[in-house]
Structure 1
């Protein structure tokens, strides 16, 4: 074996090269300079970011769409602490990331070093695992470990803390050490299958049900299980409802789609109430999905399929626990039902037709809002135009706040798969633009649209410079209501008209902001102009397009429905 004296920073870069790392983002400092130098020399696709939180958001969206591990880095102190929000998003969403963070020189630690903080203690609760490298020669081993942890079980972010002296120090590495098995460069790296007895019982419960319903969460997409969900649904005429992150488990346009369930729903909550057997797949049954823990009712028959055993019983006690990877479990269920599938499908045809009829009826009942000509623009009209314009392979990224709720309720994916990317792990606003950047990098050639509020865009507008620098062909829709819309809407519901505090923003023409940053800017005030603006953005190939859509200023119309928490709050409960 040949050996090569190199810095720890170069060893880090070589391990990423061995892993086939995709585009990565960071903002360097002295501690990681050897890594940056090696990245330049060996051809890693590393790019400067304007805010470290956005580096994690880009990596998160990239990983969600590509299935590969997202990579980013930050320098010590403020660089490290700026990562926290993005790390928690990835941790809660199950996104595989490896994040390198520079740290102080160990010889001088705790001697008032510039920018020093107890960053490992700050970051540890925000990631799946934190690995601190204490010896240069262990870099290949520990980076390999970081990838393995990031992609196994419920995937998540792993932080690799690199002291200055480790990154700048040298060691005669053996060339053979720089290798990473392809199996741990993607998530999920390892799949588990349900126990045979549990699988048999689940098949019996589904085959004997008269009104079964599948509820899909984001775990379906983490597992790459959309095709398996679609196949099971079609095999036995099993209707499917979804959470925001589970949208695309089957196409929203599929006759078996019952749409979003939980806090905002179309027809799904009523179907859940009427169902005699619920198959919950890759869903944590959190607050929004369960309409603050009221859906489904406690006495419902529920099969809960998840690969994280700790989620069983956390918010709902299921009748049957299926400990399994989503794709493997759904494939096994379909196989277990195969002998009776034709009979079940025929028996369930009337039920399936009923679901399709109810969905058609719902669409007709909201048509006035979907086609509204009012000015400022109705959010439902904006989403309806987006549905008509977006190609089947398009990706919509929905920022936190009301952008996600409107998108979750009204946006329709046209094929199974991850075509809707909301940041529901932490629901932080500011994800729309960097999330769109990550998706554009993960899926070149697919149209990408980011939907964000003006408040969220204000937080991250500097990344428009990054998107322009990279010539990313994406579209950002800024929903311009001159307010922190979600908060203002809640204040309206809670305290009445005119009782608003710290929820208004200045009127800004964001199209001009985009133009000042060298991007295409389009301002839309008339709903009849939405379609042309969307087409111009989606077909544009010369870099980012920002569409500034002036929507309603009426807080009574800012949400797609009344927030269920307000009823509880008016009874004296605390609003979260």
Structure 2
């Protein structure tokens, strides 16, 4: 057994190499310099970022789409504190991340060191686990631990805090210390299955229901359960509704798709109300999904399948709890029902046809908005053009708030799987561009479009330089309404026309901004030009394309549906 004297930073880099991590982003400082030097020498794919929050967003989107652990780093103090928003997104969304943070030399701590703060206390509630490395020789063990925690149970971000003297210190490591189980680099690395007696009871409840409905959350994607969801749905004609993060549980074009449920829905809320058995899969039943905890109505028969026991009863008391992995639970349910599946499917055909008919009627009812020629451009027209332009394997990244709600309601995936990536863990704006970067890195060859508002883009536009530097072939659509659109629309609904405070932005031509950063910029003011701009962006250019879409400035027509928190709703305010 050979041993090599190396710095702690090199030991960190070697562990990442052993784990087979993908692209990594960070902004260095003195504390992590040995790691950066080793990353260069051993060939880690490490890249400079312009803002640490975007490094976490990129890692989060990369993890969401690839299922692999996303990795990034930051220096101490302001670098560390800039991570908080992205860490909470990953924590709430169940994204497996390992994040390295430099810290002060322990001999100099609490002696007014430059940039020093109580960063461990700040970061601890923003991550699944925080591991501080106190001894150089424990680096392989604790980095391995970080990956194990990040990928087990509900995946999440693990912060590894590395003091300067640990990173710069040396130790004669044995080669065997860098061995890892490759399974810890993927999530979920471990799976559990519901108890057999609970599965038997659940299958009987579904078999006996006349109007069963499956409600899928983001857990179906974390688990890789979309094929299992499709199989069960088709086996017994079980319609499927979804949250924003659950979109793609089955294809939106599938006749059994009931669309988004909760605050913004098409037909799903009415189906939930009429259902006699709801199968909730990988869904926390949070505020948006339940329309402020009113959907499903109290007393509904609910089977809740989740691998996090703490979620049972948090917002709705289920009739039956299935504690286990979504993929394994759905597979087991399908096996339990296999003997009756043909009979159930035939019996439920009329119900399934009813769902398809209602969805077709809904589409017809909003056709005028989907094809509107109005100027400025109607958001419904933009989403309809996106539906036509995106190939089946395309990925739409939707920024928090405005973009996510419009995309959740109107964007249709054409196949099961993670084709729609909203940042609904924390619903922060600013995710559209870095999220698209992470998806492009996770799925090379798949067309990636980021949908963001002008307010969100203003926060992160510097990352266009990063995307250009990496020659990422992605498209960013900036929904340009010269406002913090969601806030302005709510002010209009709640306080009336003209009652706007701190919600307007200056008029900006973002196509020119993109061009000044060396990217392709296209400004679209006529809806007839949307299709051509999307074709150009999605065609696979050698670098990023930004499409600046000038949309309505009328706050009465900004929201995709009536927000349930408002009481002043005017006729015509519901856009789609």
TM over 0.5: yes
Aligned equivalent of 1:8 = 8
Asked if 1:49 is matched to 2:39, the reply is no
Aligned equivalent of 1:573 = none
Aligned equivalent of 1:527 = 527
Aligned equivalent of 1:64 = 64
CA shift at 1:312, angstroms? Answer: 0.1
Inter-partner Cα distance in structure 2 for 1:38 and 1:193:
41
Aligned equivalent of 1:225 = 225
Inter-partner Cα distance in structure 1 for 2:271 and 2:179:
51
CA shift at 1:541, angstroms? Answer: 2.1
Inter-partner Cα distance in structure 1 for 2:567 and 2:84:
32
CA shift at 1:310, angstroms? Answer: 0.1
What does the per-residue CA deviation read over 1:292-346, in whole Å, with 9 as the maximum and x for residues that have no partner?
Answer: 0000001100000000000000000000000010000000000000000000000
Inter-partner Cα distance in structure 2 for 1:323 and 1:389:
40
Asked if 1:471 is matched to 2:471, the reply is yes
Contact 2:53 2:85 in 1 (8 A): yes
Inter-partner Cα distance in structure 1 for 2:162 and 2:345:
56
Aligned equivalent of 2:339 = 339
- The two structures have a TM-score, normalised by structure 1, of 0.98
Inter-partner Cα distance in structure 1 for 2:179 and 2:96:
19
Inter-partner Cα distance in structure 1 for 2:503 and 2:553:
12
Aligned equivalent of 1:544 = 544
CA shift at 1:562, angstroms? Answer: 1.2
Aligned equivalent of 2:208 = 208
Aligned equivalent of 2:574 = none
Aligned equivalent of 1:274 = 274
RMSD value over aligned CA atoms?
A: 0.9
Contact 2:102 2:164 in 1 (8 A): yes
Aligned equivalent of 1:88 = 88
What does the per-residue CA deviation read over 1:425-474, in whole Å, with 9 as the maximum and x for residues that have no partner?
Answer: 00000000000000000000000000000000000000000000000000
Asked if 1:185 is matched to 2:189, the reply is no
CA shift at 1:389, angstroms? Answer: 0.5
Asked if 1:423 is matched to 2:423, the reply is yes
CA shift at 1:568, angstroms? Answer: 9.9
Aligned equivalent of 1:574 = none
What does the per-residue CA deviation read over 1:125-162, in whole Å, with 9 as the maximum and x for residues that have no partner?
Answer: 00000000000000000000000000000000000000
Contact 2:447 2:540 in 1 (8 A): no
Inter-partner Cα distance in structure 2 for 1:9 and 1:160:
12
Asked if 1:433 is matched to 2:433, the reply is yes
What does the per-residue CA deviation read over 1:49-71, in whole Å, with 9 as the maximum and x for residues that have no partner?
Answer: 00000000000000000000000
Inter-partner Cα distance in structure 2 for 1:393 and 1:138:
42
After superposition, where does 1:19-418 map in structure 2 within 5 Å?
Answer: 19-418=19-418
Give the secondary structure class of the aligned counterpart of 2:278: strand
Inter-partner Cα distance in structure 2 for 1:268 and 1:179:
49
CA shift at 1:183, angstroms? Answer: 1.1
Inter-partner Cα distance in structure 2 for 1:158 and 1:538:
34
Inter-partner Cα distance in structure 2 for 1:417 and 1:236:
20
What does the per-residue CA deviation read over 1:141-189, in whole Å, with 9 as the maximum and x for residues that have no partner?
Answer: 0000000000000000000000000000000000110121111110001
Inter-partner Cα distance in structure 1 for 2:236 and 2:490:
42
CA shift at 1:567, angstroms? Answer: 2.9
Give the secondary structure class of the aligned counterpart of 1:114: coil
CA shift at 1:401, angstroms? Answer: 1.3
- Structure 1: which 5+ residue stretches go unaligned? 570-576
Aligned equivalent of 1:513 = 513
CA shift at 1:542, angstroms? Answer: 1.1
CA shift at 1:382, angstroms? Answer: 0.1
Contact 2:307 2:324 in 1 (8 A): yes
Give the secondary structure class of the aligned counterpart of 2:567: helix
* Number of residue pairs aligned between Structure 1 and Structure 2: 570
Inter-partner Cα distance in structure 2 for 1:134 and 1:542:
44
Inter-partner Cα distance in structure 1 for 2:442 and 2:180:
21
Inter-partner Cα distance in structure 2 for 1:568 and 1:361:
27
Distance 1:568 1:19, change over 3 A: farther
Inter-partner Cα distance in structure 1 for 2:321 and 2:542:
50
Inter-partner Cα distance in structure 2 for 1:487 and 1:481:
12
What does the per-residue CA deviation read over 1:104-130, in whole Å, with 9 as the maximum and x for residues that have no partner?
Answer: 000000000000000000000000000
Contact 2:101 2:161 in 1 (8 A): yes
Inter-partner Cα distance in structure 2 for 1:188 and 1:13:
23
Inter-partner Cα distance in structure 2 for 1:540 and 1:349:
42
Contact 2:8 2:170 in 1 (8 A): yes
Inter-partner Cα distance in structure 2 for 1:566 and 1:374:
27
CA shift at 1:540, angstroms? Answer: 3.1
CA shift at 1:566, angstroms? Answer: 1.2
Q: Which runs of 4 or more aligned residues in structure 1 lie more than 2 Å from their structure 2 counterparts after TM superposition?
A: none
Aligned equivalent of 1:572 = none
Give the secondary structure class of the aligned counterpart of 1:547: strand
Give the secondary structure class of the aligned counterpart of 1:321: strand
Give the secondary structure class of the aligned counterpart of 2:5: strand
Inter-partner Cα distance in structure 2 for 1:429 and 1:48:
22
Inter-partner Cα distance in structure 2 for 1:561 and 1:251:
23
Give the secondary structure class of the aligned counterpart of 1:567: coil
What does the per-residue CA deviation read over 1:56-109, in whole Å, with 9 as the maximum and x for residues that have no partner?
Answer: 000000000000000000000000000000000000000000000000000000
